[in-house]
Amino acid sequence: MEISLDFGKAWKTGLALFVALALLFVGRAATPVAADNLAILTPDRWQAAALARKAGAEIVRLAADVQALHGLAARETPDAIQAMLLAQRIYAGHRQGTTATAPARQTLISAAEATARYASGGVPRQTAVDAINIALERIRVLTPAHGAESNRGPLADDSHLGSVRPGATPTPG
């Protein structure tokens, strides 16, 4: 007695059913939920979400770079070569980006230039201080919890800028 099983079309049907179920579970897990409603992501929404993620990453880099500028300007005698290298890195890293961060990127580049010029003796310290404070305010506006008291990010308060305030004596931050 010989039993023959022919899975010619059945394996294709089983595979299609498995893929459909897998997509259902992945789709349910990956679909965003806003106010207990499933949101259908159109191509425009996907693009907007991608731009928001890109802008968020830029804001993090902007905050880190303004902190580096502050650290350099807060020194008693800043190193001119280190200031120039930092300014070049900031310029190269922030020449391009999203339009949402363009004003903050431009003021950070200007602050980097002013800090490098201060470190080399080209401008007074107050010029660099003012440029850094302007860049900090432009970046702070971009943070999601701007104005919220629960914000504990790198730019949550001005205590780290105590040595860069107008008229203050430079102390390491």
Give me the torsion for CA of 39, 42, 46, 47, rounded to 10°: -140
Predicted local confidence at residue 55, as pLDDT: 92
pLDDT at 163 over 70: no
User: Greater confidence, 48 or 4?
Assistant: 48
Give 123-157 pLDDT, tens digit per residue: 999 999 999 999 999 999 988 765 544 343 333 33
pLDDT at 166 over 70: no
Predicted local confidence at residue 171, as pLDDT: 43
As a whole number of angstroms, the longest Cα–Cα distance in the chain is 101
Predicted local confidence at residue 157, as pLDDT: 39
Give 84-99 pLDDT, tens digit per residue: 999 999 999 998 999 9
Which pair of tokens denotes residue 168? 């203050």
Give 15-42 pLDDT, tens digit per residue: 888 898 888 888 767 666 665 676 677 8
Please report which confidence band the pLDDT of residue 48 belongs to, taking 50, 70 and 90 as the band edges. confident
* 10-14, 27-31, 160-164, range with greatest mean pLDDT: 10-14
Q: Which of 92, 136, 93 is nearest to 111 (CA)?
A: 136
**By the 8 A CB rule, do 90 and 135 touch?**
no
Predicted local confidence at residue 11, as pLDDT: 73
Give 49-66 pLDDT, tens digit per residue: 888 889 999 999 999 999
Q: Angle at CA 111, nearest 5°, toward 109 and 112?
A: 65
* Long-range contacts at 154-160 (CB < 8 A, ≥ 24 apart): 154/63, 154/64, 154/67, 155/63, 155/66, 160/67, 160/70
**Residue in the block written with tokens 């929404």:** 45
**Cβ-Cβ contacts under 8 Å for 82 (sequence gap 6 or more):** 72, 119
